[in-house]
């Protein structure tokens, strides 16, 4: 595996598997020095003012990164659960089990779904299961 692919895999693992608070703190610490240097060089502020502004801006950036990562992780959970439901519905040949999937698992999906693409997937899964139930003997 080339070095760059290995580095990308490690960065991806860090952002997808580590606790959000750790990612936020490290983002805050990593973003602060360049932002502080930017304010010192471009704005001509005193160093203490530049440090305060840089820490505040990098803190806001860390919260944005944490929010985006939280939504990404929630979306990954949604798609994993949707694939699991589709696979279970595919191999189930019992009407009661399909009804249970509709009653419990589809409600879980609705709880973690965000936006149109997730709603479309829920509607598709529900329609597939209901159609399968309709044509069962």
What distances in angstroms separate CA 49 from CA 18, 36, 56, 64, one per listed residue? 33, 9, 11, 23
pLDDT tens digits along 27-49: 999 998 988 888 888 766 678 88
The dihedral built from the CA positions of residue 100, 102, 107 and 112, taken in this order, carries a sign that is positive
pLDDT higher than 80, residue 1: no
CA angle 44, 51, 32 (to 5 degrees): 110
- Residue indicated by tokens 């598997």: 17
For 79-95, b/e burial (b = at least 16 CB within 10 A) is eebbeebeeebeebeee
Question: What's residue 43's pLDDT?
Answer: 65
- For the entire predicted model, the pTM comes to 0.77
pLDDT tens digits along 58-111: 999 999 999 999 999 999 999 999 999 999 999 988 888 999 999 899 999 999
């Amino acid at each position: 595996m080339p070095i760059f692919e290995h580095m990308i895999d490690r960065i991806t693992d860090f952002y997808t598997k580590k606790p959000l608070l750790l990612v936020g703190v490290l983002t805050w610490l990593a973003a602060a020095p360049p932002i502080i240097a930017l304010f010192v060089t471009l704005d001509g502020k005193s160093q203490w003012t530049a440090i305060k502004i840089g820490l505040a801006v990098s803190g806001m950036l860390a919260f944005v990164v944490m929010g985006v990562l939280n939504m990404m992780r929630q979306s990954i959970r949604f798609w994993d659960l949707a694939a699991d439901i589709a696979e279970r519905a595919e191999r189930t040949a019992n009407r009661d089990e399909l009804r249970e999937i509709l009653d419990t698992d589809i409600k879980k999906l609705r709880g973690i779904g965000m936006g149109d693409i997730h709603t479309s997937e829920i509607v598709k899964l529900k329609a597939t299961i209901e159609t399968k139930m309709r044509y069962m003997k």
